[in-house]
Amino acid sequence: MAEKFSPYDPTQALNSLEAIEVFMTDAFETGDAAHIAAALDIAAKAQGLTQLAGEPSLKTTLALMKVLGLRLTVAAVPPSA
């Protein structure tokens, strides 16, 4: 008998600022702009914000992160050993 799978909606798991923070931190750690944009879109949907059209600009990203209660920070990456 085949297993039945239900569609997974990641916005349902983003029900707190802490969950969104972890989700977005993981996205930024990939260094992949498309992945980060997609994650930001998902976080925005989780908060009931309008879906972003395409890859957002830095200005839009910063504004949206502010609305979500997040901010970008900078950290040095240690050189590879």
pLDDT tens-digit series, residues 17-62: 999 999 999 999 998 988 998 899 899 999 988 666 566 788 888 8
| Surface-to-core class of residue 43, CB atoms within 10 Å of its CB (0-12 exposed, 13-18 middle, 19+ buried) | buried
Q: What is the pLDDT of residue 26?
A: 95
Would the pLDDT of 4 be above 60?
yes
Q: Where are the domains of the chain?
A: 13-68
| DSSP designation for 16 | S
12 pLDDT tier (thresholds 50, 70, 90): very high
Q: What is the pLDDT of residue 56?
A: 72
CB 50 within 8 A of CB 44: yes
Q: What is the pLDDT of residue 15?
A: 92
Q: What is the pLDDT of residue 18?
A: 93
